[in-house]
């Protein structure tokens, strides 16, 4: 609940300073109108005018235990009082404890943790480790993917944000990972799509030259690109191909990890163990920037007597690690992972499928845990997206109208191209979900008016 009276004047001052001096990511600076946020708690945030929103986005899909969880806030305060910062070359309690708790939960023998400041740099380092481990140059990644905004990571990303920085990307090769809804001329069933994608991948590896490929990097469940849960057998098939050709298999769990899919890691849904696994976001609910790479025994061995040539000043920052220790503790004690699995299966999935029956703008519903996407279309038969790929301005009006309608109902939706994602905190309650779903119902009625 907002604990202070609305204060539009204070909001206007925050906004004015922002507009004068903050250079926003991914934005045309004069075409944006950021909301001034006064506070947040749990699944809600509020502005200075007294408007409160249910956050269906978890920020950028990272506040897995919600905003301002008291145990995490207290842990950061206590760490700040005890030892705010200490350089990475030293053993520090918060850092070693965070690494231990993470390693205990990662699949297989991914027991060594290299800490970064976020997801993109985790991906950068995973690729560097793979190149040094194999002595090979190339990296394979999926077209429908997001791996981060730094140079190597944006080049690996599949979406249009890559285009502006797509230079110096020698050695990155993209492939088509499974997506049955948009593969219908090649496959009618999940089994066929799985076979299509694996055959395409093996052919890609063959034409690139297996001896030139260091790493294959995949989001276990692609997030930003549309939450396409891979068909059974796909990731196991990729694991086999990587073993066959000596390629390092990297799963990017920056978004899918730490409870999002209703498992500690999405890899657990499929029983697959990669050689390297990246994480960030949910590891500490994003309270203090933190990411990392979980490293297998074999790859750790490569750097046992040979220095790993990479590091960051704030690697394993004590404040960030204290937040991770507390977040993992909260997730374990409060059954947050189980909550995401149960409410995803019992509430969100059935409710979204029911919305799809009533709203012609919904082309497909897909997801798992607290990780769901609605694919909005102009025409269900042709599957033409509700807005063109990478639309801006007028061309994007239907999605803008959809988002405005949700906000008018007190719900902040996640909108990306022609999709809305339902990705609330993993500790969201059933009542909160019902509030969110009712607003989506109303907003979809607006989207329906743009269908043909």
**Residues forming the site for ligand PLP (CB under 6 A):** 60, 118-120, 123, 146-148, 219, 223-224, 252, 254-255, 280, 291
CB closer to ligand PLP out of 76 and 251 = 251
If the CB atoms of residues 423 and 433 are measured against ligand PLP, the closer one turns out to be 423
Q: Which is nearer to ligand PLP, 291 or 363 (CB)?
A: 291
Radius of gyration, alpha carbons of the chain: 22
Query: Considering beta carbons, is residue 123 or 248 the nearer one to ligand PLP?
Result: 123
Query: Smallest distance, Å, CB 59 to ligand PLP?
Result: 10
Taking CB positions, which residue lies at the least distance from ligand PLP?
Answer: 119
CA distances from 86 to 75, 79, 319, 322, 355 (A): 17, 11, 10, 13, 51
C-alpha distances out from residue 299 to 134, 148, 197, Å? 10, 23, 27
Q: What does the alpha-carbon distance between residue 424 and residue 67 come to, in Å, rounded to a whole number?
A: 11
Neighbours of 49 (CB within 10 A): 13
Distance separating alpha carbons of residues 229 and 187, to the nearest angstrom: 16
Instruction: Give the residue among 283, 341, 354 at the shortest CA–CA distance from 103.
Output: 283
Least distance (Å) between residue 270 CB and ligand PLP = 16
Helix or strand run (H / E) with residue 294: strand 291-295
SS3 276: strand
**Between residues 119 and 413, which has the closer beta carbon with respect to ligand PLP?**
119
Q: How far is 174 from 111, CA to CA, in rounded Å?
A: 29
Query: What is the DSSP pairing of strand 411-412 with strand 384-385?
Result: unpaired
Read off the tokens for 434: 């019902």
Tell the smallest beta-carbon distance from residue 310 to ligand PLP (Å).
16
Nearest distance from C-beta of residue 200 to ligand PLP, angstroms: 21
Cβ-based nearer residue to ligand PLP, 148 or 237? 148
* Shortest CB 122 distance to ligand PLP, Å: 7
Shortest Cβ 380–ligand PLP spacing (Å): 29
Nearer to ligand PLP, 292 or 398 (CB): 292
User: With the C-alpha atoms ordered 79, 85, 90, 96, is the resulting torsion angle positive or negative?
Assistant: positive
**How near is the Cβ of 71 to ligand PLP at its closest, in Å?**
23
Separation of alpha carbons 236 and 231, rounded Å: 10
């Amino acid at each position: 609940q907002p604990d202070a009276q609305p204060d539009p004047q204070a909001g206007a001052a925050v906004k004015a300073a922002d507009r004068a001096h903050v250079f926003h990511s991914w934005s045309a600076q004069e075409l944006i109108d950021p909301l001034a946020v006064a506070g947040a708690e749990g699944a809600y945030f509020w502005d200075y005018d007294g408007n409160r929103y249910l956050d269906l986005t978890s920020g950028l899909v990272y506040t897995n235990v919600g905003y301002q969880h008291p145990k995490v806030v207290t842990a950061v305060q206590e760490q700040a009082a005890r030892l705010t910062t200490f350089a990475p070359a030293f053993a520090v309690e918060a850092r070693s404890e965070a690494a231990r708790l993470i390693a205990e939960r990662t699949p297989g023998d991914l027991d060594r943790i290299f800490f970064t400041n976020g997801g993109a740099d985790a991906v950068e380092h995973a690729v560097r480790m793979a190149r040094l481990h194999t002595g090979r140059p190339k990296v394979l990644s999926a077209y429908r993917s997001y791996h981060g905004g730094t140079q190597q990571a944006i080049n690996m990303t599949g979406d249009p944000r890559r285009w502006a920085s797509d230079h110096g990307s020698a050695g990155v090769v993209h492939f088509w990972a499974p997506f049955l809804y948009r593969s219908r001329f090649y496959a009618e069933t999940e089994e066929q799509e799985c076979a299509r994608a694996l055959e395409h991948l093996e052919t890609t590896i063959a034409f690139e030259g297996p001896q030139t490929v260091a790493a294959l990097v995949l989001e276990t469940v692609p997030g930003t690109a549309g939450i396409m849960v891979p068909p059974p057998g796909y990731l196991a098939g990729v694991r086999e191909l990587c073993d066959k050709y000596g390629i390092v298999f990297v799963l990017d769990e920056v978004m899918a990890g730490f409870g999002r899919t209703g498992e500690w890691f999405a890899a657990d849904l499929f029983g697959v163990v990669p050689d390297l696994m990246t994480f960030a976001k949910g590891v500490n609910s994003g309270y203090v920037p933190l990411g990392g790479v979980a490293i297998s025994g074999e790859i750790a061995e490569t750097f046992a007597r040979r220095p790993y040539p990479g590091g960051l000043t704030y690697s394993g920052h004590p404040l960030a690690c204290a937040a991770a220790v507390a977040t993992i503790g909260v997730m374990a004690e409060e059954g947050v992972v189980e909550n995401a699995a149960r409410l995803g299966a019992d509430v969100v999935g059935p409710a979204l499928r029911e919305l799809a029956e009533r709203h012609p703008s919904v082309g497909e519903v897909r997801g798992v845990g607290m990780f769901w996407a609605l694919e909005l279309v102009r025409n269900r038969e042709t599957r033409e997206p509700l807005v063109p790929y990478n639309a801006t301005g007028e061309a994007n009006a239907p999605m803008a109208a959809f988002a405005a309608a949700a906000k008018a109902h007190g719900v902040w939706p996640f909108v990306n191209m022609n999709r809305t994602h339902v990705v609330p905190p993993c500790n969201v309650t059933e009542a909160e979900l019902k509030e969110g779903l009712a607003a989506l119902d109303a907003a979809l009625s607006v989207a329906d008016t743009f269908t043909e």
